[in-house]
Structure 1
Amino acid sequence: MSGLIQIAGVKDLADAWNILAAGVNLVGFPLGLSVHPQDISCDQAATIIDKLHLGGSAVVITYLQKADEISKLCRRIGVSKVQLHGEPPVPQIERLRSKDASLFLIKSLIVRDGNLPELIDRMNQYAPFVDAFITDSFDPSTGACGATGKTHDWSISRRLVESSPRPVILAGGLTPANVKQAVLRVGPAGVDVHTGVEAPDGRKDPLLLNSFVTAAKRAFAALRKNQFASSTQDRIPGKKVS
């Protein structure tokens, strides 16, 4: 998992098509939410996923916390990936993993001021049962954990990337203007954007979508180049790395 690009938030079939046309890897469908209103129903999401043959490219983004409810939602709309933005107890994640081993589980790590030790502890608890993590921003004014349009302290996400035994996706306030800087600063396995590519009506803006994907791909290419250069330098006999 490297250089992954996810766009979240779908209002209708045309919206989903514009996201796919931009060349993304994953399309996120927020459902089972506790803060934000749902843009579409479960049945509408299932229809879009079926009509566009999204298959493994669709991700349910949910705040549900019980394994049985999460598994039922995934089966209902026909997806094999789920992004968990709530705080389900670890035993529920373990149950979900044992109940449906085919699910690709992404667990959110919500960045607040000064909560790095807490996040590392939770990351280590969840790591045996999930496939990836996603860092996102907390909005104290609404209580929202994701889709806030707010950035967070990228140094915390950087530390999580360095510490995590699983790939880490970066989200939170990303836009075409800042995604390159974010990727180079954090070094994530992927990026996710929701509000940062929306038009005033809340639908995805094709120009912003294309700009974001282009900027993200260039950023990941530069990151790989930097990492290659660093690893090559490390292998030079007698080379002291500062």
Structure 2
Amino acid sequence: MPRTDLAPICPRIQIAGIIDREEADLLVRLGVDSLGFPLRLAVHAPDISDADAAHVIASLPPHVAAVVITYLTNPDEIIALCDALGTARVQLHADVPPAVPAALRALRPDLRIIKSLVIPHGCDDALPNSIVERINAFAPHVDAFLTDSTDPTTGATGATGRIHDWRLDRAIVEASPIPVIIAGGLNPTNVRAAIRAARPAAVDAHTGVEGPDGRKRADLVKTFIREAVSGFSDIA
């Protein structure tokens, strides 16, 4: 069953795509609750090596969560990756059956699991039955859902910088018995509106707080945090 101690699995603000220790330290200083490390990806190249990610994760203070974001589908390989990196939090981004998180839960009851729900490109304001079915199938085996956007030109289902209809996020929040984190093109200028529209448990950003060089920019992260906090205050 999903856990009821939601704070560790649902930080209010997660930033993904950590490049190095310097970037991680910056985000921690600015007040980010959770750092995401995309590895074993289907389209994008990893932002960091396994060894460097493990080093960064070992340096994080206890109140900052480290989440492995992966397209791996084999439970044993997922657990091995988490163990190698030194974290017990994983975001499953591949199109896996519910049996995968169920197996992870059986093998490692301490593992906190987030399952992505990718919004199809061109989806209108009606939530597809397929997503409702996935919510019902996965909810007993995971701790939270994360919504994201797809890029039909590249096939990417994350870190696309694309926004989807937040009414769909709201529908997912209302349909889900467990917390929902929203992502997909969030940036300092739209995160407050997204929170007000969807009423999620948390938000996640990647490319929306980066400069042209692909590194997180302190000014963008500061503004993102300020606007996100205001958004959560609006819906409190």
Give TM-score scaled by structure 2 length. Answer: 0.92
What aligned pairs does 1:16-55 form with structure 2 within 5 A after superposition? 16-53=24-61
* Residues 1:9 and 2:17 aligned together: yes
- CA separation of 1:40 and 1:55: change in aligned 2, threshold 3 A: farther
**Which amino acid in structure 1 is aligned with residue 77 of structure 2?**
E
- Which shifted more, 40-49 or 84-93? 84-93
Within 5 A, what are the aligned runs for 1:134-173? 134-173=146-185
Contact 2:28/2:64 (<8 A) preserved: no
Residue by residue over 1:92-143, the C-alpha shift from the partner in whole angstroms, topping out at 9 and shown as x without a partner, is: 2211110001011000000013362111101111111000000000111111
Q: 1:154 offset after TM fit, Å?
A: 1.1
Rounded Cα–Cα distance in structure 2 between residues aligned with 1:123 and 1:92: 15
Residue 202 of structure 1, aligned match among 204, 214, 218:
214
2:99 equivalent among 62, 87, 91: 91
> Which residue, out of 61, 78, 81, partners 2:69?
61
Pairwise CA distance, 1:52: 3.0
Distance in 1 (CA, whole Å) between partners of 2:73 and 2:34 is 22
**1:231 paired residue number:** none
CA distance in 2, matches of 1:27, 1:84: 15
Worse-superposed segment, 2-11 or 75-84 = 2-11
CA contact (8 A) 2:33 2:63 kept: no
Q: Please state whether the residue corresponding to 1:60 is helix, strand or coil.
A: strand
- Give the whole-Å Cα distance in 2 for the aligned partners of 1:102 and 1:219: 31
**1:95 maps to amino acid:** A
Cα contact 1:49–1:55 (8 A) shared by 2: no
Question: Cα gap change, 1:68/1:140 in structure 2, threshold over 3 Å: closer, same or farther?
Answer: same
Match of 1:73 in 2: 81
CA distance in 2, matches of 1:172, 1:72: 28
The number of equivalent residue pairs is 224
Secondary structure of 1:73's aligned partner: helix
In structure 2, the partner of 1:105 is 113
Unaligned runs of 5+ in 2: 1-5
Q: Which one has the largest radius of gyration?
A: 1
In structure 1, C-alpha distance between the alignment counterparts of 2:78 and 2:102, rounded to whole Å: 12
Amino acid at match of 2:59: K
1:187 to 199, 203, 208: 199
Structure 1: gaps spanning 5 or more residues: 225-242
* Cα distance change of structure 1 residues 88 and 55 upon mapping to structure 2, 3 Å threshold: farther
**Residues 113-128 of structure 1: pairs in structure 2 closer than 5 A:** 113-114=122-123, 116-128=128-140
1:55 offset after TM fit, Å?
7.4
Output the aligned Cα RMSD. 1.4
- Equivalent residues of 1:167, 1:189 under 8 A apart: yes
The percentage of aligned residue pairs carrying the same residue is 47
DSSP 3-state at the match of 1:144: coil
User: Deviation string for 1:179-219 (max 9, x for gaps)?
Assistant: 00000000100000000000111010000000000100011
